Amino acid sequence: MEFNKENMPKHIAIIMDGNRRWARAQGKPASFGHKAGAKTLEKIVRYANKIGLEYITVYAFSTENWKRTTEEVTALMNLFQSYLDDYSKRADSENIKVKIIGNRQGLSEKMQKSIEKCMERTKDNTGIVFNIALNYGGRDEILGAVKNIAKKIQNNEVKIEDITEQMISDNLYTANQPDPDLLIRTSGELRLSNFLPWQLAYTEFLFVDKNWPDFNEKDLDDAIEVYKSRNRKFGAK
């Protein structure tokens, strides 16, 4: 499908929900669904890059996901590890710039090295910026921004009266990126789950009943068409 670039969203955020439900429906373990979801993700990012989307941010693993069973968390971490190690080569060949956002200190040393390697390999690519939210929590992100600004005040680098919304944005993981124009959440759930609360202030929301592994390129096309039909007012009447 050809899109009018003037009406295209620049940045789409996705809550990839429904991997476990999809697996259970087939009598399979959660890990089966997560692997299928990873394949869907790569397909969607490749397509988004093809049609000229500039940024895509996906919710891969939240700070709350550590509460899941040890078995599932271990399987997820192993999947992320192998995905990053393997995907960096393909992302580089497809001109995709990968950025991992979230609290890396909570991740293993091996995972942190894989993150650095992937980001370093793709840092000069000029295609879509692919943000993967890993060990990410929106409130934790805002708290970190507040602490960074507080340190600057303490060091007499800025004054309290100098604090603006832009300064807070500049201290978030997504600094220097536009806020998402469209949020897509799959599986029919109607909540944000602590995902990008600051950045989504004026974002258009679209909730899709499909589980993430079943989401495809046509679904993304349809989501963009819905976005284009909406009248974004940004608080104005």
The number of beta carbons lying within 10 Å of the beta carbon of residue 7 is: 11
* Residues 15, 58: Cα–Cα separation, whole Å: 6
177 Cβ partners below 8 Å, 6+ apart?
A: 11, 55, 129, 131
Hey, CA dihedral for 19, 187, 185, 209, is it positive or negative? positive
Active site residue 92: no
Using alpha carbons only, what angle is made at residue 119 by residues 10 and 169, rounded to the nearest 5 degrees?
A: 50
- Predicted TM-score (pTM) of this structure: 0.94
Active site residue 17: yes
Query: What SS3 string covers 33-47?
Result: HHHHHHHHHHHHHHH
Mean pLDDT of the chain: 95
pLDDT tens profile 154-190? 999 999 999 999 999 999 999 999 999 999 999 999 9
Identify the active-site residue in 17, 125, 179, 211.
17
Domains of the chain, each with CATH number or no CATH: 8-137+178-229 (3.40.1180.10)
Share of the chain above pLDDT 70, in %: 97
Identify the active-site residue in 7, 19, 49, 65.
65
Token pair listed for 77: 């971490």
